[in-house]
Amino acid sequence: METKSFERIESMSKSKRYPREIRERSVALVLEHQGEHSSQWACIRSIASKFGMTPETLRLWVRQAETDRGLIAGISTDEKQRLKELERENKELRRANEILKAASAFFARELDPRMPKK
């Protein structure tokens, strides 16, 4: 089974990629300790500061983890990955179809006895 991938989250000025272990651990801490805070946001802010990341970054990871676990509605990481693969495949098939249409039209002109040869 593939590990769930977290999408790269970029800030306006710079991007910072966190190791998978840090992302997983920080999300787990939020989910484990959110009852100890007045709100989930307060928990996220507290844990984000300990890991040296922005609260918004951690909030996005938590939302995706909640979606992946079926706790909230949305598209899971696996579904997003599958959708991306299908979109890529669809694009390739459309391109191949256009090439085949062009080739078909070319050979139809070449083989049509009514058309003058060039």
Q: Measured between alpha carbons, how far is 93 from 90 in angstroms, rounded to an integer? A: 5
Q: What is the mean pLDDT of the chain?
A: 86
Q: Measured between alpha carbons, how far is 68 from 107 in angstroms, rounded to an integer? A: 50
Q: Where are the domains of the chain?
A: 18-74, 76-118
Q: State the pLDDT confidence band at 4, using cuts at 50, 70 and 90.
A: very low
Residue 2 pLDDT: 41
pLDDT tens across 47-62, in order? 999 999 999 999 999 9
In our burial notation (b when 16+ CB lie closer than 10 A, e otherwise), range 15-36 reads eeebeeeebbebbebbbeebee
pLDDT tens across 25-46, in order? 999 999 999 999 999 999 999 9
Q: State the pLDDT confidence band at 114, using cuts at 50, 70 and 90.
A: confident
Higher pLDDT, 49 or 113: 49
- Among candidate residues 3, 48, 15, 18, the one with its CA nearest the CA of residue 30: 48
What is the average pLDDT across 66-74?
92
We find that the CATH architecture of domain 18-74 is Orthogonal Bundle (1.10)
